[in-house]
Chains A and B, each alone.
Chain A
């Protein structure tokens, strides 16, 4: 079956949901969730790009002539690691913000700073 542009639409929709969440939410954890969705949408974009119509998995073997491009997949493995590291570091910082301010709402934090 021809996939058409379906994958790309999904990638764009996810990207916008993610970006909107980052911008619109003031809860620091929700922002990080949005950031993760945003990054995952890019993974979809890359993985879809590697698909070759009618191709199988890129395995060396008899009878396998057409196979999907493995390079975008491998690149995205790296990007996944980076994404995890970013989320982990972000959450670690949020934990310390919670300890220092006793809240994870950005506007309340800014208010506390202004009160000083």
Chain B
């Protein structure tokens, strides 16, 4: 009985829980409640994935109104995988949150923090699960508005300006997406994704279709921060509270990549996008330039959070590169990297959060000698950093392997070389942190304790996940491959 309603429970439970958090008000109680809700969402997401893998697509008519009139929630391999990713990160980061939040956000606003966190989670899950184009926009705004709030909670006053700039760019991006959806509706008379996919091909010759596609692509690319539309990201990640950075860095951009996949492959179709419009001729150079420019920018940062933020922009380049290959191997690489990068960046930002709690700063200059003073945290940082570089036996290696394989499959060896060489840049920016932390003496000899156990558990879950998924790839590559085949229509 309850089984049939899983798709809607995925959204409704965290959505309803957010106002309840506001009513509860007590710090520990709101946290415990939010924790329960995220774990419940995680349970639903695992159920949904196993159901999709065994029985195929799950479709749910919201409120009992059938698809073209009502809103449909549609779960297939691709979004079941993303739902799982978002809920895993959501649970792990929330478990980590209390000590870090207590340190960085003033006590009377904690319940608001947890309420916004749940709303953001709802928005991200909603974008992923829905089968209705306009619904994507609504959930996108739910997640964006709550993430602006979360970012503005940073203790540095620069967080306010970062949040404001993100709000302006985010609103422009979202409005572009609405314009596109409006034009698509104008041509087809439907908002349901499956119907759109059926009716759009007849309209491909019209200028309206071109304009709609252009607005849509630019809007989504702003939100997912592909170079050169990434300007909002470094400041937002740098000044947001550590918990928020870890959560957003590993979920928000990933979900937008999913939106890009869904719109380009399922709705518009790979043939129109990549053969008629040749989007790949534009996507691959941007991805490569983005990887290099952002990695080089990362090398010159003096703040670890900002360094990792630039590295995120570079890693988004890898994911888009995989998508740009438009082959099963390439897409598998892109989707696997989406998952692996979420684990690695989550672990890295959680490690930064531990240091910020004890040292009080993410400035590289204050990290001197941390290798000896917080060995456990720094060990996690190094391991996850190795993943970022793509060292064998870490998750990062698997995704880069598939990306390079896809490039060679196409015979584009210069692209493969460039992707390989760019790993050296990752070595450089990870090394800068390692060098300061392990080989420089601290200015003053103060005893620093490790972060509380609760934070370390979360950090290590993600760190060990990057190692685990570097060795055992059944879950990640297996599901990603199915998702890639599904998107390209290779298997029915």
Instruction: Find out whether the CB atom of A49 lies under 8 angstroms from the CB atom of B182.
Output: yes
Instruction: Find out whether the CB atom of A49 lies under 8 angstroms from the CB atom of B178.
Output: no
Q: How far is the CB of A39 from chain B (nearest CB, A)?
A: 6
Instruction: Find out whether the CB atom of B141 lies under 8 angstroms from the CB atom of A82.
Output: yes
**How distant is the Cα of A19 from the Cα of B172 in the complex, in angstroms?**
8
By DSSP majority rule, is chain A's interface helix, strand, loop, or mixed?
Answer: helix
Instruction: Find out whether the CB atom of B171 lies under 8 angstroms from the CB atom of A28.
Output: no
Q: How far is the CB of A74 from chain B (nearest CB, A)?
A: 10
Does A46 reach chain B (CB closer than 8 Å)?
Answer: yes
Instruction: Find out whether the CB atom of A93 lies under 8 angstroms from the CB atom of B178.
Output: no
Q: How far is the CB of A3 from chain B (nearest CB, A)?
A: 15
Does A94 reach chain B (CB closer than 8 Å)?
Answer: yes
Does A109 reach chain B (CB closer than 8 Å)?
Answer: yes
**How distant is the Cα of A71 from the Cα of B145 in the complex, in angstroms?**
25
Q: Which residues of B contact A (CB under 8 A)?
A: 134, 137-138, 141, 145, 148-149, 152, 157-158, 160-161, 163-164, 167-168, 171-172, 174-175, 178-179, 182, 185-186, 191
**How distant is the Cα of A28 from the Cα of B137 in the complex, in angstroms?**
25
Taking CB atoms, residues of chain B closer than 8 Å to A38 are 172, 175
Q: How far is the CB of B387 from chain A (nearest CB, A)?
A: 33
The contact of B182 among A22, A72, A94, A110, by CB within 8 Å, is: A72
Instruction: Find out whether the CB atom of A45 lies under 8 angstroms from the CB atom of B175.
Output: no
Taking CB atoms, residues of chain A closer than 8 Å to B191 are 71, 75
Taking CB atoms, residues of chain B closer than 8 Å to A101 are 157
The contact of A35 among B138, B141, B171, B185, by CB within 8 Å, is: B171
Does A79 reach chain B (CB closer than 8 Å)?
Answer: yes
Q: What are 14 contact pairs spanning A and B, CB under 8 A?
A: A22-B168, A22-B172, A42-B179, A46-B182, A78-B138, A79-B178, A82-B141, A89-B148, A90-B167, A90-B168, A93-B148, A96-B152, A97-B164, A113-B158
Instruction: Find out whether the CB atom of B185 lies under 8 angstroms from the CB atom of A93.
Output: no
Does A65 reach chain B (CB closer than 8 Å)?
Answer: no
State which residues 1-51 of A face B: CB under 8 Å.
19, 22, 28, 31-32, 35, 38-39, 42, 45-46, 49
Q: How far is the CB of B17 from chain A (nearest CB, A)?
A: 20
Supplied contacts A35-B171, A75-B185, A82-B174, 5 more A-B pairs, CB within 8 Å: A38-B172, A75-B182, A82-B137, A86-B141, A93-B148
Instruction: Using CB atoms, name the residue of chain A closest to B141.
Output: A82
Instruction: Find out whether the CB atom of B164 lies under 8 angstroms from the CB atom of A94.
Output: yes
Taking CB atoms, residues of chain B closer than 8 Å to A115 are none
Does A59 reach chain B (CB closer than 8 Å)?
Answer: no
**How distant is the Cα of A28 from the Cα of B149 in the complex, in angstroms?**
17
Does A85 reach chain B (CB closer than 8 Å)?
Answer: yes
Instruction: Find out whether the CB atom of A31 lies under 8 angstroms from the CB atom of B152.
Output: no
Taking CB atoms, residues of chain A closer than 8 Å to B171 are 35, 39, 86, 90
Instruction: Find out whether the CB atom of A28 lies under 8 angstroms from the CB atom of B182.
Output: no
Does A100 reach chain B (CB closer than 8 Å)?
Answer: yes
**How distant is the Cα of A82 from the Cα of B157 in the complex, in angstroms?**
26
Instruction: Find out whether the CB atom of A28 lies under 8 angstroms from the CB atom of B157.
Output: no
Q: How far is the CB of A80 from chain B (nearest CB, A)?
A: 11
**How distant is the Cα of A106 from the Cα of B158 in the complex, in angstroms?**
12
Instruction: Find out whether the CB atom of B175 lies under 8 angstroms from the CB atom of A85.
Output: no
Q: Which of B158, B167, B171 has the most CB of A within 10 A?
A: B171
Taking CB atoms, residues of chain A closer than 8 Å to B178 are 42, 79
Instruction: Find out whether the CB atom of B164 lies under 8 angstroms from the CB atom of A72.
Output: no
**How distant is the Cα of A13 from the Cα of B185 in the complex, in angstroms?**
22
**How distant is the Cα of A49 from the Cα of B188 in the complex, in angstroms?**
12
| Given A19-B172, A38-B175; A89-B149 close (CB under 8 Å) | yes
